[in-house]
């Protein structure tokens, strides 16, 4: 799909908001492919990565409950999603409590970002405001780590 007609800033914002790449993919894309300055790449990626928790934290419960009550496929999907998230997050949560949510989002590994962190916060009953603060802090730290790695990697070439 040709997205060359979209401004690079919008592509980076949307990449930061996407569930697989999040800012872990958006920052290197912004700097390495589009040649954006690292500060601009960081800001756009963080803002994009904040979009999912803003939407997911207040709506995940009501939407999942509605879909599960009305559609069999939704029950299967949410059972899979919630089981997967519990398996990945439970050991950390049992050891570190709510701080685990921050660490889980902050460490820039695949599938440990704002999307999964928001689902984990919902599953473990972390209050929405506290969850948002913890996820936001994790996004900032992950963004700093990815930015530092991106600048360091690009300076080698």
d(CA 62, CA 36): 39
* pLDDT reported for residue 94: 84
Of how many residues is the chain composed? 157
d(CA 107, CA 89): 13
pLDDT band at 113 (very low <50, low <70, confident <90, very high): very high
- In the chain, where the domains are located: 8-155
Of 10-14, 38-42, 110-114, 151-155, the one with minimum mean pLDDT is: 151-155
* Cα separation values, 65 from 42, 70, 72, 75, Å: 35, 9, 12, 9
pTM of the model: 0.88
> Considering the chain, what percentage of its residues have pLDDT values greater than 70?
96
Is the pLDDT higher at 29 or at 97?
29
The SS3 assignment for 26 reads helix
Q: What would the pLDDT profile of 57-92 be if each residue is shown by its tens digit?
A: 999 999 999 999 999 999 999 999 889 888 888 888
């Amino acid at each position: 799909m040709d997205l060359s007609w979209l401004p690079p800033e919008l592509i980076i914002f949307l990449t930061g908001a996407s569930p697989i790449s999040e800012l872990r993919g958006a920052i290197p894309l912004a700097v390495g492919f589009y040649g954006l300055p690292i500060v601009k790449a960081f800001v756009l990626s963080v803002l994009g990565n904040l979009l999912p928790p803003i939407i997911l934290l207040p709506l995940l419960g009501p939407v999942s409950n509605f879909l599960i009550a009305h559609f069999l496929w939704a029950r299967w999907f949410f059972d899979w999603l919630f089981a997967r998230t519990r398996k990945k997050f439970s050991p950390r949560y049992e050891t570190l409590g709510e701080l685990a949510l921050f660490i889980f989002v902050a460490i820039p590994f695949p599938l440990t970002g704002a999307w999964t962190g928001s689902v984990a916060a919902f599953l473990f009953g972390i209050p929405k405001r506290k969850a948002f603060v913890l996820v936001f802090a994790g996004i900032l730290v992950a963004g700093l780590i990815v930015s530092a790695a991106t600048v360091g990697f690009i300076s080698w070439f």
